[in-house]
Structure 1
Amino acid sequence: MASKDILKRSQALLSGFLVMFLLIFSSCDKLIDLLEGGDDEEENAIIEIPYSPTSWEVSYKGQTVSVEFTASEDWRIVIDEYTSSWISVSPTEGSAGDYTLDISVSANETSEQRNGFVTIYSGDERVDIYVTQYGFETVLDIPDSQTSWNISNAETALKVNLLVNTDWSVEIDAASASWISVDPSKGTAGEYTLDIYVSANDTGEMRHGMLTVVSGNERREIYINQKGKTFQPEGEGPDDMPIEEWK
């Protein structure tokens, strides 16, 4: 009977030593992990952009900008629906390493400024790259010396130089349309020479005409002042020339 009690006490004592050994071993293992940096918690992903801006301003013409970055883990690009209609990115994903991101911005054909962004995700880390693009700026240029004309009553052809960067057209006011015409009267972006034809003024009154070149929100007026025909008093002109043809 005594031997059985001794055996039970020995087993209990052995179990106690075993539990203590396991606790000490576990504590040492945790201590080693702590000293070495540990692996109980996962390291956060890192995205670094040390040399490139994360905010860009581009003209209405469009542009491709490059962003250099480093990712410590797999990464991907996310673009919201509005931004993706005018911004594209290459590449769009990758593994850990150094990369150059090409962000292509299309031309802005409206007069409104627009703002967008693309996001680099890696694990729980994110970096936003912002893009601001200015609205379309219409160029409509006519030399000042060709925007106002004073001409005689004779039939006359005028030439006007035009420079535009988008579609354009010419409007002639109703009072002038009967005696002024222009060719070409519309076009796309480019350089043009407008031929403006003015018919003879057979009246004795000066007349005033106006043409307007329209491109986008820009307008330039061209004014034409044409003298009236001068009639000689009866008996003072040549006998063989009708009075209405004298000047």
Structure 2
Amino acid sequence: MMKHFIFIFSCLFFWSCGSGGEEEPIPPAPDEKPVINIPSTDPLPVIEQKGGKASLSFTTNTAWTATVNAASARSASWVSVLPESGGAGSHTLTVTTTENDTFDERNATVVLKAGAASKSFTISQKQKNALTVSSNKIEVKAAGGKAVIEVKANVLYEYEIEKEAQSWITHTATRGLATSVLEFSVSENQNTDKREGKITIRDEEFTEVVTVYQEGSKPAVILTQNEYTVGSQGENIKVELRSNVDYEIKLPDVDWISETATRALSSNTHYFTIKPNGTHDARMAEISFLNKENGIEEKVKVTQKQKDDIVVTQNEYHIAAAGGTIDVKVSANVDYTVTVGEDWIKQVTTRGLATGTLRFSIAENKDDDARSGKIAIKGAGISRTVTVKQSAGKETDGGIDDMPTQPW
């Protein structure tokens, strides 16, 4: 009986010692806020044109997920992130991209979420056949920080901070030989408005421009260019932006602007097709980038030039020998000049550009022969010609006196 008791006691002892297994992740206490920490010393991933991998470390106190931002759905074919989820603790994300065979730098935004906490970072991949600088874009928080540019060059080069940004961007250090690292200090942006500054790096032949975008103290959608002017023949325009919030695009209610689906399109770059303008009037429309949650609306203004033309209502005038005046009605949306090819045609008045009337006086024709003259109206590579035909000064009536005299 004693042996059976000892055996049962031993089993219970070992079961109690071994039943714990591996410790389960301890979820945050109910009153502990979910937190995501990314070391400030880690640079944002920049991947070479041939593709590859980049890593980013972070810690969190609860379960998390990593996804490509909804605005960058079209980026999914060239960028992936692993792992896509995990528990509390320290983790390293691996971002993998395919080769970029386009001539545009492309970007994607990866979003980390842990409960109500959320952080995002931008993956940049250089374009084909570049590159002398690590990236042409640097984003800095409103609190300020460092802007680091890696320059690969085997020639002497210089840098220049544009005048408007010299008060808040300053050079602090240069390190390295074959590969140099230019380090700039970006001061805190105390205004609520976004700002940007350009740093130009050049030698005798090549020029690279790096734009530093600094957020304001509120959510913002930052457009690199707000106005585009397009010729009447139409073209494609490229709109680049930086956003720290989700956004949607609202096209104007016109049939001559459409968004272009492009394989190289990134989450921060959009292309739009502007159709040719076959009318004689310029036209304008606006493309909106909206974040309804924060009441943000940024607009790109597209102005398209008109089809230039000069129109005359009548190309030929017949005037009696006694002379007189003619009125040439002209409709034009360009500046033009008037040239008269004959001294017996004189311009009397000229008015305006839109719809105007050009008046000419025609001198008496005292010659026995009819005559013809030209009026040329030219502007913006367009030429129109008006012909003036005047009867002979001496009209014949077909009588005996008009018959030629023959010698007998």
Q: Where do 1:159-198 residues align within 5 Å? A: 159-173=327-341, 176=342, 178-184=343-349, 189-198=353-362
Counterpart residue number, 2:25:
29
Partner of 2:363: 199
2:323 maps to amino acid: E
> How many residue pairs align between the two structures?
166
CA contact (8 A) 1:169 1:213 kept: yes
Aligned AA for 2:241? I
Offset of residue 189 of structure 1: 3.0
Query: Cα gap change, 1:231/1:183 in structure 2, threshold over 3 Å: closer, same or farther?
Result: closer
Larger strand fraction of residues:
2
Query: What displacement does 1:190 show?
Result: 1.2
Give how far 1:38 is off. Answer: 3.2
Q: Does 1:137 align with 2:307?
A: yes
- Deviation of residue 103 (structure 1)? 5.5
Residue identity matched to 1:200: E
| 2:311 aligned partner, one-letter code | D
2:355 and 2:362 map into 1 onto residues whose CA distance is 23
Q: Match of 1:243?
A: none
**Which string of whole-angstrom CA distances, capped at 9 and with x for unpartnered residues, describes residues 17-60 of structure 1?**
8xx97x812xx21999xxxx932x644333279xxxxxxxxxxx
Partner of 1:149: 317
Q: Give the AA of the match of 2:326.
A: L
**Equivalent-residue separation in structure 2 for 1:208 and 1:217 (angstroms):** 25
Superposed displacement of residue 112, structure 1: 5.2
Q: Using a 3 Å threshold, how does the CA distance of structure 1 residues 96 and 136 change in structure 2: closer, same or farther?
A: closer
In structure 1, which of residues 103, 118, 132 is the aligned counterpart of residue 239 of structure 2? 118
Identity of aligned residues (%): 13
Partner of 2:63: 38
2:72–2:267 Cα contact (<8 Å) kept = no
- Which AA in structure 2 matches 1:44? V
Tell me if structure 2 keeps the 8 A contact 1:73–1:95. Answer: no
Deviation at 1:105, TM superposition (A): 3.6
**Greater Rg over alpha carbons, structure:** 1
Contact 1:118 1:128 in 2 (8 A): yes
Residue 386 (structure 2) aligns with: 222
Query: Any unmatched runs of 5+ in structure 1?
Result: 1-16, 50-70, 82-91, 237-247
C-alpha RMSD over aligned residues: 4.7
C-alpha deviation, 1:224, in angstroms: 0.8
Deviation at 1:194, TM superposition (A): 0.6
